[in-house]
Structure 1
Amino acid sequence: MAIKAPRIEPLDILLPAEPLLMMGAGPVPIPARVAHANSIVINHLGETLARVIAQVQSMARYVFQTESPWILGVAGPGSAAMEMSITNLVWPGTKVLAVRNGYFSERFAEMARRVGGDVTTLDVPLGEVIDLAQLEEALERVRPAVLTVAHGETSSTTFNHHLADIARLARKAGCLVVADAVCTLSTTPLLMDAWDVDVVVTGGQKGLSSIPGVSLIALSQRAWDRIESRPADPPHWCLDAKLAAQFWHHASYHYTAPTSGILALHEALHLICQETLERRFARHAGCSTAMQRAIEALGLTLYGQPASRLHSVIGIEVPAGIDRRQVCAHISARYRVEISGSFGLDIVRIGQMGEQCRAHHLFRTLHAFGSTMRDLGAQVDLPAAAAELERTLQRMHDDVI
């Protein structure tokens, strides 16, 4: 008997009539130019795409703050860019030291184990950053070839703010540094060359304000030399950096590239270049500071120590008696704003990345969040929070936000 076609709801029925404002830990709202670019399909081997890719690489060097020629795109999420870094730099027996203070830094360690790496994790309490003396001791003891770290650990809203010092110690110990910058690239300073970071990976859907599913990786010459010296081809064909380089540097076929996503990424990078990193960093720092002060004015507590809090994703402790999952469901259903839960912590998370850092989005989100907490029985002062948000934003230049 032939299988009959299923009866399903079309998207205009399945999706809400009013789109949700995406204010969680990603994906984030995308600008109209990025959305339009993502609707265009072009030849994946044509001259036009080759010119687009050359411009993507040029703009990416500015955003990564590197002069390295080794900029590659990845047809996959930020995790695929992470895996490309690991599968090319790590092989059976390679010693890897993974700084672990959350879910995504643990993902680096798991990826390294799966390709046969000899992995040692350096555990850091959630909400805290690594102690440099402890790191130096671990580097001396383990003698790794590769060190992995999440510059911004979105799962615990932790900012490993001394990445430059981490890289300095790693360089002294003779190992390469691989950094996850999915939520920090373009939202906070990251100077790949000046800090001697060997590999930086990022996804499109967070700091860059592009679409999910197309990512970037930047590699230093040191990292590329190690890839060239591999004793055998990496186990993942699609993520083989040398094969990817044939496409990204020589317009040679690797696989059918996500052309629409590359066009979207081009426009997202172009918008960052037009804004400039200096102004973008100021916008993110100012908007996040304003939202953090407003949350405290509500009467709620921010997660983590101030020095180790991300600008790009802030964590908020949920008052006793309120379920964080109920908070996320209520704010979405009633106020049409999407925020994120957590990875086991009793917090909710609000994103402050790219297009999320606009004054009108902040006010709408604060109202929705404060109202949700009040609806669920928390004692909050929403007028005081709104006044604090307005006061802090007014101290910033109008053209920053």
Structure 2
Amino acid sequence: MSTPSTPIVCPDVVSLDEILPEEPLLMMGAGPVPIPAAVAKANAIVINHLGATMVKVIGQVKEMARYVFQTRSKWVLGVAGPGSAAMEMAISNLAWPGTRVLSIKNGFFSERMAEMARRTGAHVVTLDVADRSVARLEDVEAALRQERPDIVTIVQGETSNTVWNHQLKEIAALAKAAGALVVVDAVCTLSTMPLEMDAWGIDAVITGGQKGLSSIPGVSLIAFSDAAWERVKGRDHANAHWCLDASLAENFWHNAGYHYTAPVSGVLALHEALRLVCAETLEKRFARHLKCSLALQAGISALGLELYAPEPCRLNSVVGIEVPKGLSPADICGHISRQHQVEISGSFGLPIVRIGQMGEQCREHNLFRTLHAFGRTMVDLGVRVDLPAGVAALERSLAENGRGVAA
């Protein structure tokens, strides 16, 4: 016998104007990043996802993405989801029960790729790399000989601990020589530092919109090589993921047909983000990112604080800073947000905070505001830092490395 229930009443909520801070937060964490006005404008537009205008937009998105990925491959697709959805599209389309996967693991996100491969039923072996380190080529070569993988996964920039796998090109060459396809997570690195998909022999590259590209979260990109696409199309049973089935996605991204209702506003935003990358050019964009990141690193060091990753493998797009004794990442992130309206990030259990240098974060005015806010936060929390020295080092580095580089 059912019992009478109390009616569900309409909730009493307030508008976003009452929730959001009066002064917009400066997003200087590990993503999402600030977006340019052209991207924001495009994100406010809705068009027919199967109309002629969308077909033209999609064509240009693919053309620009090939430049950013540095590939001539036809097989560029968008993904309605974050960078992790693009990662899962790559893994779930290339791996299945019986597939042998070697995952080079030196942080949280490289382990995520391994876990995604396990969930397909693949046989996964990880090459575990110590924190703040990169894989040695001789260890990679030995693992390839022993495991004989079909697929090798690796991140270019391990966002979690700010380590740059700077021997990606050499690792990819070893994997290709061993007959493996190479899958690369370039979520925080694409358009911030060189990655040459074709020249380096990479078979799948994934990225998110909300980092180096300075687009909105939730719409991502993936590119497959011809060899990878042949494997996608040659599998003998359907992908368990319907939305992430690349063969189905092909219908929309290459045949102007229906897969599901595309996130049209996000695709338009991605178009404008890619257009701005192309207008700047990759060469100038790489130089801007390097210049700004090195200046930030110099400023942090001059404050008297320690950078987390060693210089030879330090990621430029996300800078990790050791948390002073007696504080937690939450203490620092909370204070700088409340008192200075600057957002930075903690990490995944590591004693660090992270400041992003991706896309629109890499502007000189953002650097000065962020470094000052960070230094003042340290002072407020009882840490002795030399804030004038930090700002001076930031200024000096920008001046020394800024010749011919737009800020």
AA matched with 1:62: Y
Q: Deviation of residue 325 (structure 1)?
A: 1.0
Q: What residue number does 2:70 align with?
A: 65
- Partners in 2 of 1:149 and 1:281 — Cα distance? 21
- Partners in 2 of 1:148 and 1:34 — Cα distance? 31
Q: Indicate which of 372, 380, 387 corresponds to 1:375.
A: 380
Q: What residue number does 1:170 align with?
A: 175
1:118 paired with 2:145, answer no
Q: What residue number does 2:198 align with?
A: 193
Q: Percent identity?
A: 65
Q: 3-state DSSP class of the match of 2:9?
A: coil
Q: Output aligned runs, 1:41-190, within 5 Å.
A: 41-190=46-195
1:384 paired with 2:392, answer no
Q: Deviation of residue 95 (structure 1)?
A: 0.6
**Contact 2:153/2:184, CA 8 A, preserved across alignment:** yes
- Partners in 2 of 1:53 and 1:388 — Cα distance? 44
1:400 paired with 2:406, answer yes
- Partners in 1 of 2:347 and 2:57 — Cα distance? 37
Q: Deviation of residue 398 (structure 1)?
A: 6.5
Q: Indicate which of 209, 212, 215 corresponds to 1:210.
A: 215
Q: What residue number does 1:249 align with?
A: 254
| TM-score, scaled relative to structure 2 | 0.98
Q: Deviation of residue 397 (structure 1)?
A: 3.0
Q: Deviation of residue 93 (structure 1)?
A: 1.3
Q: 3-state DSSP class of the match of 1:400?
A: coil
Q: 3-state DSSP class of the match of 1:218?
A: strand
CA RMSD of aligned residues (A): 0.8
Q: What residue number does 1:344 align with?
A: 349
- Partners in 1 of 2:326 and 2:121 — Cα distance? 45
1:220 paired with 2:225, answer yes
AA matched with 1:229: G
Q: Indicate which of 39, 42, 45 corresponds to 2:44.
A: 39
- Partners in 2 of 1:236 and 1:321 — Cα distance? 45
- Partners in 1 of 2:23 and 2:54 — Cα distance? 35
- Partners in 2 of 1:380 and 1:341 — Cα distance? 20
Q: 3-state DSSP class of the match of 2:212?
A: coil
Q: Deviation of residue 2 (structure 1)?
A: 3.2
Deviations 1:82-124 (A, max 9, x none): 0000110001111100111111111001111111010001110
Q: Indicate which of 225, 235, 239 corresponds to 1:234.
A: 239
**Contact 2:101/2:123, CA 8 A, preserved across alignment:** yes
Q: What residue number does 2:273 align with?
A: 268
- Partners in 2 of 1:307 and 1:192 — Cα distance? 23
- Partners in 1 of 2:204 and 2:161 — Cα distance? 22
- Partners in 1 of 2:211 and 2:18 — Cα distance? 27
AA matched with 1:3: I
Q: 3-state DSSP class of the match of 2:153?
A: strand
1:355 paired with 2:353, answer no
1:26 paired with 2:31, answer yes
Q: 3-state DSSP class of the match of 2:194?
A: coil
Q: 3-state DSSP class of the match of 1:293?
A: helix
Tell me how many residue pairs correspond in the alignment: 401
- Partners in 1 of 2:19 and 2:309 — Cα distance? 38
AA matched with 2:87: M
Q: What residue number does 1:16 align with?
A: 21
Q: 3-state DSSP class of the match of 1:316?
A: strand
1:311 paired with 2:277, answer no
**Contact 2:287/2:405, CA 8 A, preserved across alignment:** no
AA matched with 1:81: A
Deviations 1:231-266 (A, max 9, x none): 201110000001101100011000000000000000
- Partners in 2 of 1:398 and 1:328 — Cα distance? 34
**Contact 2:30/2:345, CA 8 A, preserved across alignment:** yes
Q: What residue number does 1:259 align with?
A: 264
Q: Indicate which of 328, 332, 335 corresponds to 1:327.
A: 332
Large movers: runs of 4+ above 6 Å: none
| TM-score, scaled relative to structure 1 | 0.99
Deviations 1:157-195 (A, max 9, x none): 010011110110000110000000010000000000000
- Please say which of residues 389-398 and 41-50 is displaced more in the overlay: 389-398
Deviations 1:41-82 (A, max 9, x none): 000100000000000000000000000000000000000000
AA matched with 1:5: C
- Partners in 1 of 2:98 and 2:340 — Cα distance? 52
Q: What residue number does 2:3 align with?
A: none
Structure 1: tracts of 5 or more residues without a match: none
Q: Indicate which of 7, 10, 17 corresponds to 1:5.
A: 10
- Partners in 1 of 2:186 and 2:328 — Cα distance? 30
**Contact 2:70/2:195, CA 8 A, preserved across alignment:** yes
